Amino acid sequence: MTILSWIFSFLLLSNLGGTLEKEIVEAPKMKALIIDGQNNHYVWPKTTMMMKDYLEETGLFEVSVYRMDSVWLGIKYNQSQPEPLRSFIETYALHDKTYGISDKPIITSKFSLDFSKYDVVISNLGASAALWPVETQKSFEKYLSNGGGFVVVHAANNAWGEWDEFNKMIGLGAWGGRNSQTGPYVFYNKEGKLEKDATEGICGSHGAEFEFVVTTRAPEHPIMKGLPKEWLHSKDELYERMRGPFENATILATAYSDVEGNSPPWNPRVKGMGQNVPILMAINYGKGRVFHTTLGHFDYSVESVGFITTLQRGAEWAASGKVTQKVPKDFPTEKASVSRKWAK
C-alpha cells in the first residue's frame, strides 16, 4: 500500500467512524410518561420528579409528566414530618396547564390520553385515585396488550380494585376493595416454595417503616440479572397480603414479613404473615410488559439505590423487553443499605 492510498484509507475510515459514532449518539430515546395527581401519599409531586430524573439520567428515556385533571393532595400520615401538606405540590408544580386542587379524593375523572405515543407509562397514582372512564380503560388495555410498557410504583397498586383488567396487569394489588374473589395471596413459604393461598381475609397491610432484606427470586430475569442474591433496602413500607389473578406473572424479589415486626401498630388484630412476600414482579399482559414495585413509600425510600436501580432497569425492560444497564458499583449489600441524596 502506498503512502497516498494509506492516507486515503485512514481518512475514509475516520469519516465512517465519525458517522457511526454520530448515529449512536443520536439514537432516539424511548418515550416515557409518568402519570400522577391523585395519590394518598402527599409526597407524590416530589417522587414524580425524582423518578423523572432517575430515568433521564440513564440516557435511555425522554420523560414527560401528565398530572390528572383534578389533583388530590393525599394524606400526611406521619405528622412528625416537617413539611406542610401543600409543600410538595407547591414546590414541584407543573406549569404546562392549570388544575384544581382538592383536600379530598376525587370521585370521577374525565382523564383521556393517546397512550400509543409512549414506550412505557409509569403510574405514580395511589389509593382512592379516580377510576378512569371506560373509554380510557379500554384504550389503555389495547395499548398494553399490543406491546406497550407499564410500571406500577408502590401505592399505584392500591387503585382500581374494581377494574378487572387492571388487576391482571399488575398481578397482585392491595386494598382498593379487593378480596378473596379478586385472587389469592401469593408468597414464598419458609421452604422456598411458591404458594397461592385462597383463604378469605383482608387485602393489604404493612407495619411501620423499617429497613429490610430483599431476596432475589428470578436471578436470570433481565431486570434482576447481576443483582446480588440479597440486599438491604432503605427504610420503607413492606406491603403484604396482596391479592390478584397473578396470571403470566413472575415474582422477581421478596422480603420477609415478620409476624411482629410487620404488624400494623394502628391495628392490633392484624399481624405480619410470617412469609416471604413479593415486592418486585414482572407481568406479561398480551404482548405488553409490566414491572411492578411495591417499594417507594416516601422520598427517603425512593433515594435508595435499590429502588433507583430496579426502577431504571424495570422501566427499560417494560419499554423494550431487554435491559442494557449495568449494576451500579454502589448497589447495596446484604449488610448495608445505600442511598443517594436527591435535592432539587
Residue 7's pLDDT is what? 40
Domain assignment present for 225: yes
Q: Which tens digits make up the pLDDT trace of 210-232? A: 999 999 999 999 999 999 999 99
Domain assignment present for 304: yes
For residue 225, give the nearest of 217, 214, 233 by alpha carbon: 217
Residue 106's pLDDT is what? 84
Q: Which tens digits make up the pLDDT trace of 34-53? A: 999 999 999 999 999 999 99
β 194-197/185-188 pair status: antiparallel
Residue 15's pLDDT is what? 53
Query: Per the structure block, which three cell numbers stand in for 136?
Result: 380510557
Share of the chain above pLDDT 90, in %: 80
Q: Which domain holds residue 298?
A: 29-320
Domain assignment present for 332: no
Residue 136's pLDDT is what? 96
Domain assignment present for 158: yes
Q: Which tens digits make up the pLDDT trace of 25-38? A: 568 999 999 999 99
Q: Which tens digits make up the pLDDT trace of 135-155? A: 999 999 999 999 999 999 999
* C-alpha torsion 313→314→316→320, nearest 10: 140
Confidence of residue 3 (pLDDT cuts 50, 70, 90): very low
Query: Per the structure block, which three cell numbers stand in for 203?
Result: 387485602
Query: Per the structure block, which three cell numbers stand in for 76?
Result: 400526611
Domain assignment present for 20: no
pLDDT higher at 325 or 72: 325
What type of residue sits at position 165? E
pLDDT at 238 over 90: yes
Residue 8's pLDDT is what? 44
How long a stretch of residues is the chain?
344
pLDDT higher at 238 or 99: 238
Number of domains within the chain: 1
Domain assignment present for 188: yes
Domain assignment present for 333: no
CATH number where 167 lies: 3.40.50.880
Q: How many DSSP H helices and E strands does the chain contain?
A: 7, 12
Domain assignment present for 45: yes
**Taking the model in full, what pTM does it have?**
0.92
Query: What is the pLDDT of the chain when averaged over all its residues?
Result: 92
Q: Would you give the DSSP letter of residue 339?
A: B
Residue 146's pLDDT is what? 98
Cα(315)–Cα(173) distance, integer angstroms: 19
In the chain the first and final C-alpha atoms are separated, in Å, by 59
Sequence-separated (6 or more) residues with CB below 8 Å from residue 315: 32, 55, 61, 120, 122, 149, 151, 291
